[in-house]
Chains A and B, each alone.
Chain A
Amino acid sequence: GQSLEQPSEVTAVEGAIVQINCTYQTSGFYGLSWYQQHDGGAPTFLSYNGLDGLEETGRFSSFLSRSDSYGYLLLQELQMKDSASYFCAAPNTGFQKLVFGTGTRLLVSP
């Protein structure tokens, strides 16, 4: 099976940098994705790491270390609109389904 663990909640102030961690246990591994979900909305894709290292997409970056079964999402120059839930996710063996992490609720304050 698969499990992806995240901290339940992270708080930060506008303009700050925040890191959301994800540790995983999978029988096979095919990369780690990150999604943002605002309350009542659908998940939206943020970033993907298929290989070790850092992927940068604007204010958001994502990092993966397959040897440590660990990844993180880095959000820079935080804005109020970044307050949302963030999920790491990974496909299972054979890409038959996408499994989501436990989710992290980010609260950005003025």
Chain B
Amino acid sequence: GAVVSQHPSRVICKSGTSVKIECRSLDFQATTMFWYRQFPKQSLMLMATSNEGSKATYEQGVEKDKFLINHASLTLSTLTVASAHPEDSSFYICSAEFSRGSNYGYTFGSGTRLTVV
């Protein structure tokens, strides 16, 4: 249980184009989703927290106009990298909180490898 499906798993795009990444909670309602970015051999850095029906909260230093987050339903959050550039190439991972009985935790999508050429 508590599965998050993330798509696409891998995308290559040209510089200047926009890329949308989707995360869906399959068997639970995710009122809050987290978006992380991970550069090679580094840790996961939180970019933003999205809450269903409200504006996302961005971490310091993350450009909200470049990384557009939409959490329109309890099962879907999207991250759009607007006008992507090579420095945006990274591994993007979503995560959601879940609570089921006595179990509580965070579950992760499988990640999206973005390469901007």
Residues in chain A within 8 A of chain B (CB atoms): 33, 40-45, 48, 87, 95-103, 105
Asked if residues B95 and A87 are in contact (CB atoms below 8 Å), the reply is no
Whether A48 pairs with B44 at a CB distance below 8 angstroms is: no
Check A48–B49 contact: CB distance below 8 A: no
Beyond A43-B93, A48-B105, A96-B49, whether A102 also contacts B111 by CB under 8 A is no
Supposing A41-B110, A42-B108, A42-B111 touch, asked if A100 and B43 sit within 8 A by C-beta, the answer is: yes
CB contact under 8 A between A97 and B93, given known A40-B113, A48-B105: no
Interface residues in B, total, Cβ within 8 A: 22
Q: Which residues of A contact B46 (CB under 8 A)?
A: 97-100
CB contacts (< 8 Å) of A102 on chain B: these are 43
Known A-B contacts A48-B105, A103-B42, A105-B41; the reply to A97 vs B34 at CB < 8 A is: yes
B108 near A43: Cβ-Cβ < 8 Å:
yes
B110 CB contact (under 8 Å) in A42, A45, A97, A100:
A42
Contact pick for A101, options B34, B41, B43, B109, CB 8 Å: B43
Q: B residues within 8 Å of A by Cβ?
A: 6, 34, 36, 41-46, 49, 91, 93, 95, 97, 105-111, 113
Residues of the B chain whose Cβ atoms lie less than 8 Å from the Cβ of A98: 34, 46, 95, 106
Query: Chain B residues with Cβ under 8 A from A43's Cβ?
Result: 44, 93, 108
Q: A42, B109: Cβ atoms under 8 Å?
A: yes
- Distance between Cα atoms of A48 and B104 in the complex (Å): 11
- Given contacts A41-B111, A103-B43, list 19 more A-B pairs with CB under 8 A: A33-B105, A40-B91, A40-B111, A41-B110, A42-B93, A42-B110, A44-B108, A45-B106, A95-B97, A96-B49, A97-B49, A98-B34, A98-B106, A99-B46, A100-B43, A100-B44, A100-B45, A101-B43, A105-B41
